[in-house]
Amino acid sequence: EKAVNLKKDLAEMQEWMTQAEEEYLEKDFEYKSPEELENAVEEMKRAKEDVLQKEVRVKILKDNIKMLAAKVPSSGQDLATELNVVLENYQLLCNRIRGKCHTLEEVWSCWIELLQYLDLETAWLNNLEARVQMTGNLPDKLDAVNDALESLESVLRHPADNRTQIRELGQTLIDGGILDDIISEKLEAFNARYEELSHLAVSRQITLEQQLQTMRETDHMLQVLQESLGDLDRQLTSYLTDRIDAFQMPQEAQ
């Protein structure tokens, strides 16, 4: 009777493993929204816990069959053969569910990481847009233009590492058919805004550089003229002090 019950337990265990495999490993999953992906991750975590909890039952079966084999070798040998099949299938099921759970957790982590990088780069784009707008109505002063140019250039020196991460993470998820529509839409919007603002910022940078160069040249010309007028003023003052007649002066002094 004990052998019959153990044989029944082995059959039930095998049936449960078959159902678990069909439910967790064989059905097709489509992750078209973050909610679907998150639910799938939580489901696989529960599946892993559920399968691992059966380890106690498997161990009890194994111990009972060993005890029976020690007492009744003929009955125990047949059950031991069936047990080995169940143990092999159970270990395979555990490994597959662990693997799928790990994969889904990695995918979810990849999605969260992508969102974080997008947030960082969006904040940078907002800053870049604000700096560009600040250059629109500058006072006609060399210092103001120079400060605006340096401020804009400091933002433009932003490293490209984050954008590389965005591109690679997005492509990895899209290639796997995971959240592909949502990610494609997000990347398209981000890239379009990045290209637009980058071109605008570089164009404004060139304009400011030209404006600054013109102002410096004008400032230099005014300085040279002022120095020349100063020299002339000092020379004319000396002529007046010495009471020299205008007709005795050089033509340019007259």
- Residue 108 makes CB contacts below 8 A (sequence gap 6+) with 37, 38, 41
**Residue 83 forms part of a structural domain:** yes
**Residue 226 forms part of a structural domain:** no
Q: Domain tally for the chain?
A: 1
- Run of H or E residues at 86: helix 73-134
**Reported pTM:** 0.78
Q: Report d(CA 131, CA 158) in Å as an integer.
A: 13
**Residue 241 forms part of a structural domain:** no
**Residue 170 forms part of a structural domain:** yes
For 67-74, the CB contacts below 8 A with 24+ separation are 68/2, 68/3, 68/6, 72/3
**Residue 243 forms part of a structural domain:** no
CATH code, 201? 1.20.58.60
Kindly tell me if the per-residue pLDDT of 253 is higher than 60. Answer: no
**Residue 102 forms part of a structural domain:** yes
Q: 2-44: per-residue pLDDT in tens?
A: 778 888 888 999 999 999 988 888 766 678 899 999 999 999 9
**Residue 35 forms part of a structural domain:** yes
Instruction: Determine the structural domain holding residue 133 and report its residue range.
Output: 1-211
Q: 130-155: per-residue pLDDT in tens?
A: 999 998 888 888 899 999 999 999 99
**Residue 218 forms part of a structural domain:** no
